Amino acid sequence: MKKSKILLLIVLPLVVAIISLGVGRVFIDPITIIKILTSQIIPIEETWAPVQETVVMNVRFPRILLALLIGGGLSISGASFQGMFGNPLVSPDILGVSAGAGFGASLGILFFGNTFGAQILALAFGLLAILFTFFVAGNQKNSPIFMFVLAGVITSALFNALISLMKFIADPEEKLPAITYWLMGSLGTATYKDLYVAAPIIIIGVLILYTLRWRLNLLTLPEDEAKSMGIPVVSLKWAIIAGATIITAATVAVAGIVGWVGLIIPHIARMFVGNNNQYVLPVSLAIGSTYLLIIDNLARSLTATEIPLSILTAIIGAPFFAYLLRRMGGSW
């Protein structure tokens, strides 16, 4: 990959992030934003209103950092799963982690309110969903990928049914709207506490997947051939699943279910760099971060009431995916 492209992938999310800090009901120009950010590192003369610094640092900054992490994390997870499963229709929730984490969050909201307890339960049930998927899949050596996908469908169906049960028994005036809104995905309540919960987990997952990007191409080989070359196929798949799982679970824990990002962004990345996962993963990371930032800006700016993220990602993602189907004609 050319150095100019690498530089663009690094600069683009940063530029969009700075612009995003100024977008909203209270508009703040980029120069003022840069001054406010600089003042957090070195003392400079304050030429801005205190309310502007409060809006930038306390309201928008944690939200934008979460958008960067979640967008990039879901995108690199989707790219990793698509490479591992050899299926362009795979997304990070293929093994049921989103449904499991969504049930955990719903359970937490129902019994604890929209609190730290809900986030912990979302993480716990997201991981539990993956364990259940592996339990259902069993030790099927002949067609492990096929069994994993089927087991993921079963897991998702089970936890989606449990989510419906939580909605059914929830208080329709308080708990039900909170559960429904959470499941549609939003960064509207993002705080530094959410950032402290999710950031370490997402970063660890991203580092795992980014480190394995060199080996991901080897999984396109027949499994017996890969093993004969000394490639630890099973361990490699476990590591990829672990990295993508903790990213997705952490995302649902702090922002709800954000759909389509992990599905369409890897395809956009391949349009730029081809099918080599060595490049697809970092490009997906950069494009995904930028994409979710833009989506979040639209979510909080288009209407007086904030639009859930999954509504916008579906409105944009579904037509784009239809375009890809028409363009590629089923040849991925």
Q: What is the pLDDT along the chain (332 residues), one digit of tens a residue?
A: 666 777 888 899 999 999 999 998 888 999 999 999 999 999 898 889 999 999 999 999 999 999 999 999 999 999 999 999 888 888 999 999 999 999 999 999 998 876 788 999 999 999 999 999 989 987 655 456 778 889 999 999 999 999 999 999 999 988 999 999 999 999 998 999 999 999 999 999 999 999 999 889 888 777 778 777 778 888 898 899 999 999 999 999 999 999 999 999 999 999 889 889 999 999 999 999 999 999 999 999 988 889 999 999 999 999 988 888 787 765 55
Domains for the chain: give ranges and CATH numbers: 3-328 (1.10.3470.10)
Is the Cβ–Cβ distance between 13 and 289 less than 8 Å? yes
Helix locations, the chain, DSSP H: 3-22, 30-39, 50-54, 61-85, 97-112, 116-137, 144-169, 175-184, 192-211, 213-216, 223-228, 233-255, 261-273, 277-301, 309-328
Residues 53, 187: Cα–Cα separation, whole Å: 20
Residues 311, 125: Cα–Cα separation, whole Å: 24
Look up the pTM and report it.
0.93
